[in-house]
Amino acid sequence: MHIHQTVVFRHKPVIIGSYSIVGPKEGKGNFGRYFNYVMKDDSFGEESYEKAEKKMLQSAVIGAIEDAKIKPSDINLMLAGDLLNQIISSSYAARYFNFAYLGLFSACSTIAESLAIGASLVDGGEFDTVVCSTASHFSTAERQFRFPLELGNQRPPTSQWTVTGAGACVIANEGKGPRITMATFGKVVDWGISDVNNMGAAMAPAAMDTLLAHFKDTNTTPDDYDLIATGDLGKLGSEILIDLMEDNGIKLGLNYKDCGQMFFTRSQNTLCGGSGCGCSASVLNSFIIQKLRSGEYKRVLFLPTGALMSTTATQQGETIPGVCHAIVLESEECAKSENKKQKQKMQNKKEVAKKK
C-alpha cells in the first residue's frame, strides 16, 4: 500500500543480519567501537583503492550473511551501488557471489534506495531474502570527483571527507531483528547550488522535500521517532535542513542527527564532516541497528541524501540535483506491539486521501 510517496509494508520485513567495515581513520572516529571491522590500512591489501573499495563491499556482504546465520545460498538477490563511475565496486563485487544482482545509483542515498527496493520485494513476496550494500572510499572518490590525491589540495571550509567504509544488511520475510515498516521514495530536487565543495547545501532541499512528504503521508511528527538520521548533510547541510524545516513549521529537535556530522571527532579535522555511500551505510549497520536491536531506539527515521552530479555535468555548468530516500526502522518489540495510535493515524490519513 502506498500513500503518495510512502509505502507501508504489510509484513514488516526483518533485518536479520548486518555488518560494517571502515578504514583506520574512520575507526578512530566517534563510531569506532560500533563497527564490526576496522582495516589496518586503507588499501586493504589490494593494489588500487578501487579494488580495496570493491573488497570492502564484498566483505560487508559476507559479514552480513554470517551475522544473519544463514548460508550464502539462502540469498535470492543482492542490491548494491556506490559512487564510482558505472558503480564498479558493486558490480565487480557481485561477480564473487552466486546471487541475482540489481545495480543501483542514487549517490550517498543508495543504501536507503537499496533498502526501499529490497524491503518492497520481500514484502511483496517476490523474494524471501535479499542483501543490500553500499561502499565508498576517500581515495577513490577524491581522485574521481575532485583532484589527484598527490596534488594535496587545500580543502574549503564547506567540504566534507568521504568515508572509507561499507555496510551491508540482510532483509528477510521472517526472523528476529529490527523491522522495516515504511519507505518514502524521494524526488529529485535541485535548488541551483553548483559548488561541488558544498554538498550539504545542495542536498538539504532534497532532505526537506522527503521529510515533508514523509510526515504528511504518514501523519507523523518528529516526536514519533527516537532518532531522525540524515546521511551526510554534514555540519552546514544539517543546519540548513533545520532552518528549511522550521520555515515549513516543523521543528527538528535533539532527536535529529546527521551521520556525517557525528562521524569524525573534532581533532580529525574533516571540516563539515563525513560523506559518501559508506558513511550512512556503516553507521546504519553498526550504531543504529545495534541500538534498535537492544531496544534503546524504538523507531528510527533514516534518510540519507545523495548529490547526483558528475564531473562532466559540473564542467558543463550544471547545478547539483539531490535526492533523499527515507526508511522507517522499528525495534522488534515496537513493530510487534499493536501501536494502535499509529495505526489509527495512518487509517485516518488513508481515508482523508481517498476522499480527496
Interface with its own copies by CB under 8 A: which residues? 1-2, 5, 7, 47-48, 50-51, 76-77, 81, 83-88, 91-92, 94-95, 97-107, 113, 116-117, 120-121, 123-128, 144, 185-190, 308-313, 316, 318, 321, 323
Using the CB atoms, write b or e for 275-303: b if 16+ within 10 Å.
bbbbbbbbbbbbbbbebbbeeebbbbbbb
Rounded distance between C-alpha atoms, residue 171 and residue 192, angstroms:
37
Residue 287 is given by DSSP the state I
Name the minimum Å distance from CB 33 to its own copies: 34
Q: Residue written as cell 532527536?
A: 255
Nearer to its own copies, 88 or 212 (CB): 88
Residue 175 is given by DSSP the state S
Name the minimum Å distance from CB 131 to its own copies: 13
Name the minimum Å distance from CB 277 to its own copies: 12
Nearer to its own copies, 5 or 18 (CB): 5
Name the minimum Å distance from CB 306 to its own copies: 8
Sign of CA dihedral 230, 326, 323, 60: positive
| Strand 326-330 versus strand 179-184 pairing type | antiparallel
Nearer to its own copies, 235 or 325 (CB): 325
Name the minimum Å distance from CB 355 to its own copies: 17
Nearer to its own copies, 38 or 204 (CB): 204
Nearer to its own copies, 300 or 309 (CB): 309
Helix axes 234-247, 199-218, angle to 10 degrees: 40
Q: Are 189 and 209 in contact (CB under 8 A)?
A: yes
Cell of 149: 590525491
Name the minimum Å distance from CB 328 to its own copies: 15
Nearer to its own copies, 277 or 289 (CB): 277
Q: Residue written as cell 598527490?
A: 150
Rounded distance between C-alpha atoms, residue 82 and residue 278, angstroms:
8
Name the minimum Å distance from CB 208 to its own copies: 15
Nearer to its own copies, 8 or 228 (CB): 8
Rounded distance between C-alpha atoms, residue 155 and residue 176, angstroms:
44
Name the minimum Å distance from CB 296 to its own copies: 30
Number of neighbours of residue 212 by Cβ within 10 angstroms:
16
Q: Are 307 and 108 in contact (CB under 8 A)?
A: yes
Nearer to its own copies, 76 or 255 (CB): 76
